[in-house]
Amino acid sequence: MDNFQIILIILSVATALCGIMMAVSRNPISVALSLLGVLLFTAGIYGLMAEHLVATLQLVVYAGAVMVLFIFSIMLLNLNVELKGPKIASPLTWGCALLVSGTIFLALVKSFVHFLASPEVGYSLGQSSESQQDAMNGQTYGLAVELFAKHYIAFELMGVALLIAIIGAVVLAKRKID
């Protein structure tokens, strides 16, 4: 157990606790803040794995922009007041949801444990991370080469998708449907 493992386990337990908080709390604001905790601790895990660019993107785009959008719209819709009547689903719905998600969790863990036991885990598809980063003048350079030289069509399509999303959001939020 070196320092890396200890910090990783602390961050993972904190992330899982925030996820559980998200599932059990009733107030939308506390759900949003728990989601913010999940995103921040996940960014911590990315930083621990030395994937600094992804950690920064996670902080700026997810924990910054998207969460501000969510909290602002919770404030705008005034969802913070508790409405009358039961807002928790019936035990049947609850049990079915638990059954489905639990089954999928067990299937994922089983397939992953099966994968870890197989011999191709140790087989490295590329070079080791550090030497690759040294050869590429750091990770951001390598990611830029991947994005703008190999996946440029997908990158441009993503720009078109963002434009369509902006126009759609403005048109949808502006007028009332009669």
Segment 46-65, which members bind another protein (CB under 8 A)? 46, 48-51, 53-54, 57-58, 61-62, 65
Q: Is 40 in the site for another protein (CB under 8 A)?
A: no
- Provide the H-helix boundaries in 58-90: 67-77
Query: What CA dihedral angle connects 92, 94, 99 and 105, to 10 degrees?
Result: 170
Least distance in Å: CB of 168 to another protein?
Answer: 6
Q: Least distance in Å: CB of 137 to another protein?
A: 13
Question: Which of 88, 117, 149, 153: binder of another protein (CB under 8 A)?
Answer: 88
Among 6, 75, 109, 135, binds another protein (CB under 8 A): 109
Applying CB under 8 A, the site for another protein has a residue count of 86
By CB under 8 A, is residue 168 in contact with another protein? yes
* Interface residue with another protein, options 81, 82, 119, 128 (CB under 8 A): 128
Q: Which of 23, 81, 149, 153 binds another protein (CB under 8 A)?
A: 23
Q: For residues 22 and 34, what is the distance between their CA atoms, to the nearest angstrom?
A: 5
Q: Which of 98, 118, 134, 135 binds another protein (CB under 8 A)?
A: 98
176 burial level (CB within 10 Å; 0-12, 13-18, 19+): exposed
Place of tokens 């689903």: 89
DSSP string covering 19-56, please? HHHHHH--SHHHHHHHHHHHHHHHHHHHHHTT-HHHHH
